[in-house]
Structure 1
Amino acid sequence: MRLDVIKAQKGDKEAFCRLIKQVEPSLYRMASSIMKSEQECLDAAQEAVLKAYLSIGSLKSPQYFKTWITRILIRECTRILKERKKVVHFDHVEARENHLPPHEQGDYVQEAIEMLEDDHRIVITLYYFQDLSVKEIAKIIQQSEGTVKSRLSRARKKLEKVMVRDIPLGGIRHESI
């Protein structure tokens, strides 16, 4: 990947396309966890790729390409959400029974995550679904590790209020969520 970054910085369009192909699934998952609709997700990803292409020369450390483009994507998602003012506030969350079938639990988890504020939804997604460490998340969102830890903690508590109590959020990764 590093060699392709260097080539892309020198104007090699094919190298940039290879880079995007490598990070595309991760970018899509990230955008879809933040955005409310498929169209907004695609718009954010497209804008992030365009901005990355136009500013790849400003990337100082090629080994951080994925972190760099993820940061661009998160900023773009946040911009679109603010612009379109489509943040949905839920006044009431319906109670769920403790015996949801396994095939419905994934949908329920996604619904619960979508109810979180943007800051909490982003750290939960990066930590559980992208398997990033607290340190890596701190670099991406340009916050301290302590801030990331507190956002994760608050997000877990909020999720526990709306989710089935039998799912122990604190000690699992995405395989179980």
Structure 2
Amino acid sequence: MNKETFKEKVLETESTLYNVSKSILSNDKDCEDAVQEAILKAYNKLKTLKEEEYFKTWLIRILINECYSLKRKELKTLSYEECFDIAADNNKDEYSELYFAIQKLPERIRITIVLYYVEGYSIKEIKKILKIPEGTVKSRLAKGRKLLKIKLEYMEEIYE
């Protein structure tokens, strides 16, 4: 794959990369950092990509690993006061109830839900991206739907 093709494919996956990073990380700046670092790592390891048709899956896998890496570092350095600052920075008027319900899901389920419903990946593609059995993808989707239903019904009751 040449530089121009790499650039085109990265631009095609830009929104997907952001959505996946946002399902793992809460801070927008961290999402941007993770996406940039994942793109850089992918470019530097481009020769390890065996089949060009799986570029998007491969890049998302790199991004997920980078998000987890940033999250581990953040847990070590985040003070109690900074948690409140981050919460204040997230302007709740910009997001829907569904967004908040998805963000409250357990991380493994949240990533699966975002990949399937937001990004439109098939169960087989998610299996490859997350390196989990197909049955696990299906069970996470089922559990995610159930949890979202409960959370949204609860939010609806609060606002009535």
TM over 0.5: yes
Which consecutive segments of 4 or more residues in structure 1 shift more than 3 A? Answer: none
1:34 Cα shift? 2.3
Cα distance in 1, alignment partners of residues 124 and 138 from structure 2: 10
- Higher relative contact order structure (alpha carbons within 8 Å, sequence separation ≥ 6): 2
2:93 corresponds to 1:74: no
Give the match's secondary structure for 1:163: helix
1:111 Cα shift? 0.4
Q: TM-score, normalised by structure 1?
A: 0.72
Aligned sequence identity (%)? 41
Preserved contact between residue 23 and residue 107 of structure 2 (Cα < 8 Å): no
CA-based RMSD: 1.9
Q: Deviations over 1:52-71 (max 9, x none)?
A: 01111000011000010011
Q: TM-score, normalised by structure 2?
A: 0.79
2:7 corresponds to 1:34: no
2:66 corresponds to 1:57: no
1:24-173 paired onto structure 2 within 5 Å: 24-85=14-75, 107-164=96-153
Which structure 2 residue ranges, 5 or more long, are not aligned? 79-92
Which structure 1 residue ranges, 5 or more long, are not aligned? 1-5, 8-12, 87-103, 168-177
> What residue number does 2:87 align with?
none
Q: Deviations over 1:25-59 (max 9, x none)?
A: 22112212322011011011011111101111000
Q: Deviations over 1:156-177 (max 9, x none)?
A: 2222221137x9xxxxxxxxxx
